[in-house]
Structure 1
């Protein structure tokens, strides 16, 4: 049975998610958040490994699972069995989009390659999310986000110059590839409106990371410049950094534009700095980055963090605190916008999580429920999609197919 959805932009789409862990399921989460009926295919008995990842609550329930699998339905199916593969083919005949993030060649070995599936459903769109893409010398390699973030250029520039590269505290590469997979699915759906034909979306994690690397590649190709690690600032972009406050917190201040820097100087009580030849324009401040950062840090260290933020907000200077999850839950702006929403968990208790973004004015996405129990919707999907009789479903379960 399809979730009761009120006017969501993708509520006419049927999606099969064969992905596991983070990258493929992120793609499915985005489509589900905007109304698509996303049926998550999981191995019987154990399900997606994400059910075991991350923190658990007092009842032992996995918390991350309830975010990445929200708004989805769970159907158990053993794709290693011929009967499971045959059943997946039948489900694919009814689907608009199929998402998978197995190593390249896996779907082909199972007889579930795009040519086979699209023969019975020419409009099918297959989103394939992998570390290194579907072709090329590295295609068959295992590709977790950490390795692909390094290949995409992100790790080299992350951290401080005197230390090894660091990672962001989330699986950023996986998430970016999932976002690009969702964007690719929507582009392919738009093209299908014109042609009636589906296609394959190839989303590689390393390319999803590379896509966000600004001018890093042409900087080297044309100017011979390799961007290096610089810690908490960007070279030649000043002032824009984290500055220490008297109460031990850090304040992020971005005042690298000339007019904004002048407002910062006024707020600091040092208006003359804006006309000093070392700081008078963007290039001069970039050349004297350490000196201007030291001046600002000397000022911030004499005040509490919230006072600095309030003062600079009044002055029109971008500034903010470095938030933890606790800060997010307590912030009045986040609360007023509904950026965090309470969703009842399977025990009926409210579980706070991030809302659906971006916001659409007429048909915004919704978090309708947390991640499903393993196989919660197996019978319902087989009945609704394939008109399968309950006796046949029971036999599949006895045979270990579902």
Structure 2
């Protein structure tokens, strides 16, 4: 299937290929839908095996951002960018500035942010070429590291899953198996422990898991053993694609609720979870805390206000779980349907929304350097 055929099939608005041989830039920006507002989504730098792999990733991620932003109640569309290359070897100021010029050429249709392989320092360099950058360090009156808000959203999602399954959202005496000991987990684990949960932790770098566990009274198992832990909730907070035909039969939990993107190896793997009676919190909903935090920048960042918005993910997920149960469908399909319903409603009041979009972009334009 050609790129244009893929765009039509997936209802993508625009796919932009950016190159600059002098600095080694090869990048793709995908804009899925801007009905609700400018397409916001991070840029990741990764040594993709092929250009086809990079295109597949950016298309999938852009679509996910549309649904994430819609269900989070944000006036934002969905987009994503990927830079082909090893961030440890291929990244340079010239490359980042060239990418920034590519973003700027879109005139605010796409707003970028930090993702895998990128750092706050990289975002500062991109800012020199375009104002359409979010998630910058706090000294820019920005939202800073989104991990705190992402973890708060996952914590709310875990509680929503428990109340749906048991009638109580208390974590006292519950066991949560957390996969990953990175930035989100480092904020999630103390929230779980303070709420009275037993936490079992694993990471491919065991020393990271042991350090986090020692700091907060958690337990550690080997990375591969985390799928076999008996727990109330399995919380994937590391790599995507970990829920598949091999790992799902091993799970001994009642719910999956974590921050990792694209947790399902294939969309149909959600049905394997449903067959086993395991409740699945759609990743593009439960991990929306970070983008909610970033959205608050458009109004002049206020952390307490942003975290109040993040806490509403509890109600969003509870509504998804209840509707899925009532309709006999999986939560992923219901969440996508709810996002599409919000976008369809928005098309009826497109002009007022465009005025709001102009206001949001003006807030970014005001800091053009």
Into which bin does the TM-score normalised by the smaller protein fall?
0.3 to 0.5
TM-score by length of 1: 0.31
Structure whose CA Rg is larger: 1
Which protein has greater RCO, CA pairs closer than 8 Å, 6+ apart?
Answer: 1
